[in-house]
Chains A and B, each alone.
Chain A
Amino acid sequence: MLRIFRKAAPDDLPDEALLRQYRQSGDQHLLAALFSRHVPLVYGIGLKYFKDQQQAEDVCMAVYELLVNKVLEHDIQHFVGWLHALARNHCLMHLRKAAVQREENTPPELMQSADQRHHTLEWPEEEAQLKALRSCLSGLPPAQQQCIEEFYLSGYSYKEIAQSRQETVGRVRSYIQNGRRNLRICMEKLIHRA
């Protein structure tokens, strides 16, 4: 209720201004509002290191607890970059404690580029590419094929496809992601053979 009487709502202030206000006032609402903006990023970083949704949520809360004091101790120029480092270090520290060795593996096919081109491959002419794509698409499992066609060819969103299939968004996302990977593997094989 006290926020009503403030000049600007926390949501309207940039990160640095919110941070400054928190340092001056110690009002945890401000810090919570600031951190809440970047929860998807911290959550994603937690998922990357722990590959578990519950642990990623716990990472978010643990990082927030760290944030309460560390924000007052450090002079932060770019909050998001600093938060990223804090979250990553927290995850790595926990992983070291658990003596779990994880490799950072970023398969290039997971990053979608606008022109559907991978920089390490020389793609054949467009017609041959389309032919390979059609062939590989038909070889996918039915769920992956259908979801990929609906997402890329029909232009539906994950949510719309999930509703039509009566499945969760996560499941549809998984079909499309795995299908994309399988398509790329299949097309690389066909191209190498050609």
Chain B
Amino acid sequence: MPEHQPTPRAAHLLQKYLSGDISKGEEAELDRLALKDAVLKEAMEGLREVPEAEHDEAVRRVRARLRTVGGRRLRPGAIAAAAVAAGLVLAAALWLQKGDDSARELAMEAAKPATEGTRPPAAAPLPAPAPQTARPEGVPSPLAAPPPVARPESDKEKTAPPPQPPVLAQLEEDANGTEANEPATFSTEMAMEDAAADAPAVPLQSPPPPKAKMERAAPSAFGGPARIQASADTLLLLKAWHQAYPRLPRAGRVVLAFEVDESGRPARISILEGASPEADSLAQRILLNGPLWSPVGASGKMIFSPPQ
């Protein structure tokens, strides 16, 4: 059997098969394509070996891990390039600043963790934060290797504001609790609205007090969705995305769950609620290019702050 280059149609149908969103006719077509493609045939055989598995989730996990692995290894000179790019980003941010906040602002909301009933226990008082390596001035994105950051011992973290002036997000203790040394897991709900070119980059506001349950409207840093101002590079990412995919909807909702690794970077990202493959990819990219996460806490409360 010849090994052909997989066609876009085959890749599209394979993705539909993984997600389960495939009709009988499309599956028959996929099987016909597999008869001509040894690689696809072998992959289909493997997928059918374990039909009850959630293949789509597994592939998403692998892709999320790939993005994390690919992001950590920087080319030489990336820091210098990032400094130049940061200057351009700042100039673009000033150019983008105008107009009505509510209509143009891009909001990234932090939501409660996706799973109810698995809440971590009441957090023990956290140690004072370890000193963090300052980022170079004017570098809003963590393109440089992230400095070591004190890893949260508590079980719950919440989303941090984007790399603008530091904002402290005060988080509640959780009543149920998990082991103190378990990696923090939380979900970030990012509502992507229309990021027009003139979206303003407004200064951050301190989030309101935390809420007990996830609420759509109330901006809360913990226990509910919180509105986080978009950074200038996030807006640029969105603009580039819109240019690359002009036919896709300009608004969508992607819910991500992720852990924070020792360096403060999001890791093991999984998509709880996706919008489209392109939007899901963009949401993950925004998260990975966002701020580092670091815990600072005392008196049983966890406070989130980006590095100084």
Residues of A within 8 A of B (CB): 1-5, 9, 11-12, 15, 25-29, 31-33, 35-49, 51-53, 56-57, 60-61, 64, 78, 80-81, 84, 88, 106, 110-114, 151-152, 155-159, 162, 168-174, 176-178
Contact = CB atoms under 8 A, between A and B. Distances in A.
Contacts of B65: 61
A40 B43 contact: yes
Given A40-B59, A112-B27, A53 B143 contact: no
Given A2-B81, A5-B85, A158-B22, A111 B62 contact: no
B233 A1 contact: yes
Contact of A41 (B6, B32, B73, B233): B6
A57 B52 contact: no
A44 B61 contact: no
A32 B62 CA distance: 11
A172 B55 CA distance: 13
Q: Chain B binding site: helix, strand, loop or mixed by DSSP?
A: helix
Interface in B23-58: 23-24, 27-28, 31-32, 34-35, 38-40, 42-56, 58
A5 B59 CA distance: 28
Interface stretch (B94-102, B117-125, B236-244): B236-244
B265 to A, nearest CB: 15
Interface stretch (B10-18, B168-176, B194-202, B203-211): B10-18
Given A81-B39, A159-B20, A61 B56 contact: no
21 contacts: A2-B78, A2-B85, A4-B236, A28-B69, A32-B67, A37-B11, A38-B6, A40-B14, A41-B39, A43-B46, A56-B46, A57-B62, A64-B69, A78-B5, A88-B42, A157-B21, A158-B21, A169-B54, A170-B54, A174-B52, A177-B51
Given A26-B75, A158-B21, A170-B52, A44 B45 contact: yes
Contact of B43 (A44, A168, A171): A44
Contact of A172 (B20, B27, B40): B20
**Which A-B residue pairs are the 10 nearest by beta carbons?**
A44-B43, A48-B46, A32-B70, A169-B20, A158-B20, A47-B46, A44-B46, A174-B52, A159-B20, A170-B52
B141 interface: yes
B289 interface: yes
Contacts of A57: 58, 61-62
Given A57-B62, A64-B69, A170-B53, A49 B38 contact: no
B137 interface: no
Contacts of B42: 44-45, 48, 84, 88
Contacts of B38: 84
Given A36-B63, A162-B20, A173 B49 contact: no
Given A80-B6, A174-B52, A41 B66 contact: no
B87 interface: no
B51 A40 contact: no
Contacts of A112: 27-28, 31
Interface in B123-138: none
A168 B21 contact: no
A33 B28 CA distance: 29
A1 B46 contact: no
A56 B3 CA distance: 22
Nearest to A68: B73
Contacts of B236: 1, 4
Contacts of B50: 47, 51-53
B292 interface: no
A109 B289 CA distance: 47
B192 interface: no
Contacts of B18: 40
A152 B47 CA distance: 20
Contacts of B85: 1-2, 5
B19 interface: yes
